[in-house]
Structure 1
Amino acid sequence: MTTADELAKLAGLRERGYLTDAEFTRAKFQLLNEDVPPSRTATAPKDMRHIAHELGRSIHDRVFGGVCGGLAKQTKLPSWLWRSMFCICLLSFGVGLIPYVILWVCMPSEDVLTEETEYTHI
């Protein structure tokens, strides 16, 4: 199959709605052996190291130490859900107490994280 035939097939798939314009453009660039342009709609997954550096105890959404508020901010789950999970684990023979205390001790406060990022970007 020639390049022109493959381009015609790709155009037909786009016309029938099987390919979006962005997918068509990426496939066309790959077919022509060019570098694939970065997609404007696709976002790269967060690096786990980057997530760990952003994880901090909340200074605004806190009941005891701000651990659940910080986890809520990072994971996009509501803080009441995190609190409920820790309470359920706490009622299950105290299993939730150990991870909560470890997170409370190991997680820096949000204000410390913002100060660090201000100094690293200078």
Structure 2
Amino acid sequence: MLSDEIKRLHELHQAGALSDAEYEQAKARILSGASTVSLSKEPSFKESTSSERISFDQHRDDLLSGLRRSRVDRWLGGVCGGLARTYGLESWVWRLIFALFVLTFGFGVVIYLLLWVFIPEE
């Protein structure tokens, strides 16, 4: 029974449902026999995951809503300049990334054109 509970804790920890600290605390409680840990950690994990997911979605929306094509730092459409301002990388790095995508995968031009069309100008 004890090994089953520890095994279940380990599975939850491996799945990411328990942080390292939570795993160690629950394991210590089981081993000390202070209380039988009901492994009902899963519902609170689902709740925290949904709130973390909402937070991530809001952060992503904030990053995308602030994305604008640059009028000043541009070679073609200002996409790389806008990406540079929004994400903190230099615009030449974004140009290099697009060039590498064009040379290696061939779809860098398509991505650039889609961004040019769908990202509004500042």
- Please report the TM-score for the alignment, with normalisation by the length of structure 2: 0.51
Pick the structure with more helix per residue. 2
Residue of structure 2 in register with 1:64 after alignment: 76
Deviation at 1:94, TM superposition (A): 1.9
Taking only the aligned residue pairs, the percentage that are identical comes to 44
The correspondence for 2:59, drawn from 28, 41, 47, is 47
Residue of structure 1 in register with 2:115 after alignment: 103
Counterparts of 1:93 and 1:71, CA distance in 2: 20
Counterparts of 1:49 and 1:93, CA distance in 2: 28
Deviation at 1:78, TM superposition (A): 0.3
- Please report the TM-score for the alignment, with normalisation by the length of structure 1: 0.51
Alignment of 1:29-48 (within 5 A): 47-48=59-60
Dislocated runs of 4+, deviation >6 Å = none
Counterparts of 1:85 and 1:69, CA distance in 2: 13
Deviation at 1:53, TM superposition (A): 1.0
Structure 1, unpaired ranges of 5+: 1-44, 111-122
Deviation at 1:91, TM superposition (A): 1.3
Counterparts of 1:68 and 1:94, CA distance in 2: 18
Structure 2, unpaired ranges of 5+: 1-55
Residue of structure 1 in register with 2:36 after alignment: none
Alignment of 1:68-87 (within 5 A): 68-87=80-99
Deviation at 1:105, TM superposition (A): 0.4
Deviation at 1:48, TM superposition (A): 1.6
What code does the residue aligned with 2:118 have? Answer: C
The correspondence for 1:90, drawn from 66, 88, 102, is 102
